[in-house]
Amino acid sequence: MEIRKVVIPVAGWGTRSLPASKNVPKEMLPIFKKPVVQYVVEEAMQSGIEDVVLVTNQNKRIIEDHFDHNFLLEQLLERAGKKDILEEVRRVAEMVNIITVRQKEQLGLGHAVLCAREVVGNDPFAVMVGDDLMFGMQPGIGQLIEVAVAEKTPVIGVMEIPAEKVNRYGIIDGREYAPGLFRVRNLVEKPPVGQAPSRMAIVGRYVLTPEILRFLAEQKPGHGGEIQLTDALQRLADECGLLAVKIHGQRFDAGDWVEYLTANIYFALQDEDLRYDLVERLRVLLSCPA
């Protein structure tokens, strides 16, 4: 099994990020110096993936433009002698081969993945949710690819979450056959608190085999009236087998304001030039009465 393509759905409305996301896709909102989706694409690149299939809609053109040249800007930076930033701007334009497909109606994450069917063809592929960020010693999707290749089985990424948050995620019921590795029996989309089979939540990383596309095509709308990827994963688990890997690292859901802001601080604190001033500023803010 070899994973060359990743499908990154970025076609959702991003209602939780309004009004910021009214005309700027939430996947293009900045986290420190880069847009959210650039972190996701970089994670894919670091994991050996060569082709990125962006599932977009008509308001999301600037996402593919971000991964292309802006020659006027590059000329201007060259003339101004701004070498470092010019290099960075060019690196982003050249880092990846982008293929875009449209999701014409926002019918859910499962439907967005199905929209990439023609491009994915008959090969196994990765899926990375476009507003879910992961950072660690090893890239999140790379951790899944390693297991999928070794076991020749589709794999989903999970993380342990607090019991009171299970109603925000797909949750797995599985047998832990090695530390952090599960054979998935059942998946439940957003179970009520107190009724979840575990605290292992599906986070936005998957390595899937082409059968999932057939299951998605036959899938009826599920939770929230959307075509849920989780429902098609249940069929994959039943008919082909499905593993889950506990991903090691930090995760930020950029569609959630607290997580989005924390991610900004996390990256800014890693910048030598900013850290001191930022910490000082935060210290003053925290000590001020509201």
Strand partners, 175: 183
Place of tokens 């596309």: 213
Please say which residue, 90 or 117, places its beta carbon nearer to ligand UTP. 117
Please say which residue, 64 or 146, places its beta carbon nearer to ligand UTP. 64
- What is the CB neighbour count within 10 angstroms for residue 258? 9
Task: Give the shortest CB-9-to-ligand UTP separation in angstroms.
Answer: 3
Contacts with ligand UTP, residue ranges (CB under 6 A): 9-17, 27, 55, 103, 106-109, 111-112, 129-131, 255
* Gap between the terminal Cα atoms of the chain: 56
β-strands 170-178, 181-189: how paired?
A: antiparallel
Please say which residue, 38 or 153, places its beta carbon nearer to ligand UTP. 38
Task: Give the shortest CB-82-to-ligand UTP separation in angstroms.
Answer: 32
Helix boundaries (H) for 23-121 = 36-46, 61-66, 71-79, 83-94, 109-114, 117-120
Contacts of 145 (CB under 8 A, 6+ apart): 3, 47, 48, 126, 207
Task: Give the shortest CB-110-to-ligand UTP separation in angstroms.
Answer: 9
Task: Give the shortest CB-225-to-ligand UTP separation in angstroms.
Answer: 11
Grouping H, G, I as helix, E, B as strand and the rest as coil, residue 224 is helix
C-alpha distance from residue 261 to each of 68, 247, 257 (Å)? 27, 22, 6
Please say which residue, 7 or 145, places its beta carbon nearer to ligand UTP. 7
Please say which residue, 116 or 242, places its beta carbon nearer to ligand UTP. 116
Task: Give the shortest CB-276-to-ligand UTP separation in angstroms.
Answer: 34
